[in-house]
A = this chain, B = another copy of it.
């Protein structure tokens, strides 16, 4: 595995790979790799000649009151995991390499951000989009892999790739789950034994919503109510939001149609958990394309 910390070196290396006709799969991460990342890497490994993983805790996507400094970092461990998974190139730049001075230009995400987690994180997705533009230009992959656990991020990246005509295929990868259905997350370790027992109720609630839709339910209100009730009945968590919206546009829905995202965020005592399901329904009869 090649480890690169310079942008220029990375661009020369990737240019060489492309000249040799190799396809490149890219998994951008903030490090502290877990099984969710491993699933992205495995998928990229299956579909490309070269797999590139970036590890960069991007200061631009953290708000002033967020945990940039405390964000967990363990490069030795990440490096080991990446090597074991068959990653070809690990790109691990310093902040000063990525942001040598004030930016003269930045990406601003104008849609898909005032819902779900974006509502409470103003500017977060501007920072995500900006660093991804940079990383995409540094790696120039054929395919980029993102986990559906953060469905809103995938929707924003979908817009970024589409609207800016990036010649990159976005590959959303299904959420990796524990045996009891709990979505894998670095934050799960913060859960108390009791909370850990309760936490699978999020996915159970989402599955119940999927079953109700399967049985013909089309009211977003009814779905939200069903999810809330299940979580309230089975956990002590405080519900942050339960939202039902179109995907990838993320416009709130009253009546379910087309591709629908049902997403939930809850707060346990020391961890905030998110989860979601995507449901595929027929398009509304007179919906504009």
Shortest beta-carbon distance, A250 to chain B, in Å? 9
Contact pattern, A 165-193, Cβ under 8 Å of B = 1, otherwise 0: 11100000000000000000000000000
Q: CB within 8 A of A108: which of B19, B108, B111?
A: B108
Taking a contact as CB atoms under 8 Å apart, the answer to whether A137 and B166 are in contact is yes
Q: Cβ of A18: which chain B residues have Cβ within 8 Å of it? A: 18
Q: Tell me if A199 counts as interface (CB < 8 A to partner B).
A: no
Q: Cβ of A166: which chain B residues have Cβ within 8 Å of it? A: 137
Chain A interface residues toward B at CB < 8 A:
7, 11, 15, 18-19, 21, 102-112, 129, 133-134, 137-138, 140, 156, 159-160, 162-167
Docked Cα-Cα span, A110 to B104, in Å, equals 5
The number of times this chain is found in the oligomer is 2
Taking a contact as CB atoms under 8 Å apart, the answer to whether A108 and B106 are in contact is yes
Knowing that A19-B21, A105-B108 touch, tell me 19 more A-B residue pairs with CB under 8 angstroms.
A11-B165, A15-B167, A18-B18, A102-B110, A104-B109, A104-B110, A104-B111, A104-B112, A104-B160, A105-B129, A105-B156, A105-B159, A105-B164, A106-B107, A108-B108, A134-B163, A134-B165, A137-B164, A140-B167
Taking a contact as CB atoms under 8 Å apart, the answer to whether A11 and B137 are in contact is no
Q: Cβ of A108: which chain B residues have Cβ within 8 Å of it? A: 105-108
